[in-house]
Amino acid sequence: MIDWNAGKGRFTAGGKELEWACWGDRDAGPVIVLLHEGLGSLALWRDFPEKLAQATGLGVFAFSRENYGQSEAGDLPFPIDYMTRQATGVIPDVLDQIGAGSVILMGHSDGATIALEYAGRVEDFRTRGIVLMAPHVFTEEMGLAEIARAGAVFGPDMAARMGKYHRDPEATFRGWNEAWLNPDFKRWDVSEVIDYLRVPALVIQGHQDQYGTMKQVDEIATRSYAPVDVLALDDCRHAPHVDQPQAVLDAVSFFAQRLMAHEAAMPEGA
């Protein structure tokens, strides 16, 4: 188990050594576990985790997946079901290492899909709710075209910029980009996991998201058995916590407080 008081360190999950950091009080309520996007990392959350801990009063935990940030390298190429493998093979270890009695999984892009898949595929009563920023549950042509454009411009300059946040930027980029551009990925669809959700969700989507549309949100909202709140933001592209940080902080705070109030009101043993 990690030493929360240390504030940061390295731990093993899914057989890989990963970097982590935490903020706030682990015992204040459910810990918010941040799952980064396809080119994200622990460092690329910047000051958002600290602001999230302050806004919610809860503990916040973030880490870099294998091949990201300063975490251990993993195998390439990524398999088409790499997000499912993260959800079922890595996240259980992560939550065990945190040592929290309850969690809210909060993911961005790939991380949102991983959070959704964990909640839909793994029975874990520690999971009280999920927050999904710019999730994807199936491919869209406009998103695939944007990923192809990114692959076409990747070069030394972009690698150098990414090198500030990833120890092997080319491996990080190629792993994500080449998985999505695999011809077989056009048929990728994990929407069936929505049918198995049994915890509330908050879905946050920018109207100007260049990788996905409101179709992703509508699929989750209409198919989920559990309650789904939707926050659709104007003047917001693929990273709501960057483009509209205060709106995201306010929404997550309200969502978390409502979860805790509901749980406190439940009869003991229910």
Query: 268 pLDDT band (50/70/90 cuts)?
Result: low
State residue 91's pLDDT score.
98
Question: What is the H or E stretch that residue 139 is in?
Answer: none
State residue 267's pLDDT score.
74
Residues 167-172 have a mean pLDDT of 96
Assess whether the previous peptide bond of 79 is cis (omega < 30° from 0).
no
Q: What is the DSSP string of 184-219?
A: GGGG-B-GGGGGG--S-EEEEEETT-SS--HHHHHH
Angle at 203 between CA 101 and CA 164, to 5 degrees: 80
Give the phi and the psi of residue 21 in degrees, each rounded to 5: -155, 160
Q: Is the pLDDT of residue 177 over 60?
A: yes
Residue 22's nearest CA partner among 85, 99, 87, 93 is 99
The span from the CA of 130 to the CA of 33, in Å, is 9
State residue 262's pLDDT score.
83
Output the CA torsion sign for 41, 47, 52, 57. Answer: positive
The span from the CA of 126 to the CA of 13, in Å, is 17
Q: Read off the pLDDT of residues 228-256 as tens digits, 9 standing for 90 and up.
A: 999 999 999 999 999 999 999 999 999 99
Residues 131-150 have a mean pLDDT of 97
Give the domains, in start order, of the chain with CATH numbers. Answer: 4-261 (3.40.50.1820)
Q: How many CA atoms lie within 13 A of 133 on its CB side?
A: 26
State residue 269's pLDDT score.
56
Q: In which residue are the tokens 């306010």 written?
A: 250
Residues 10-29 have a mean pLDDT of 97
Judged by DSSP in three states, 270 sits in coil
Whole-angstrom CA distances from 268 to 206, 263, 265 are: 39, 10, 9
The span from the CA of 31 to the CA of 210, in Å, is 30
Output the CA torsion sign for 47, 52, 57, 60. Answer: negative
Identify the bridge partners of residue 133 per DSSP, sorted by sequence position.
108, 204
State residue 270's pLDDT score.
54
Residues 184-207 have a mean pLDDT of 97
Q: Is the pLDDT of residue 4 over 80?
A: yes
The span from the CA of 124 to the CA of 234, in Å, is 34
How much is the mean pLDDT over the chain?
96
The span from the CA of 178 to the CA of 76, in Å, is 10
Q: Is the pLDDT of residue 266 over 80?
A: no
Whole-angstrom CA distances from 56 to 101, 128, 246, 252, 270 are: 17, 15, 12, 8, 25
Residues 183-190 have a mean pLDDT of 97
Q: Read off the pLDDT of residues 213-230 as tens digits, 9 standing for 90 and up.
A: 999 999 999 999 999 999
Residues 74-103 have a mean pLDDT of 96
Q: Is the pLDDT of residue 265 over 90?
A: no
Judged by DSSP in three states, 63 sits in strand
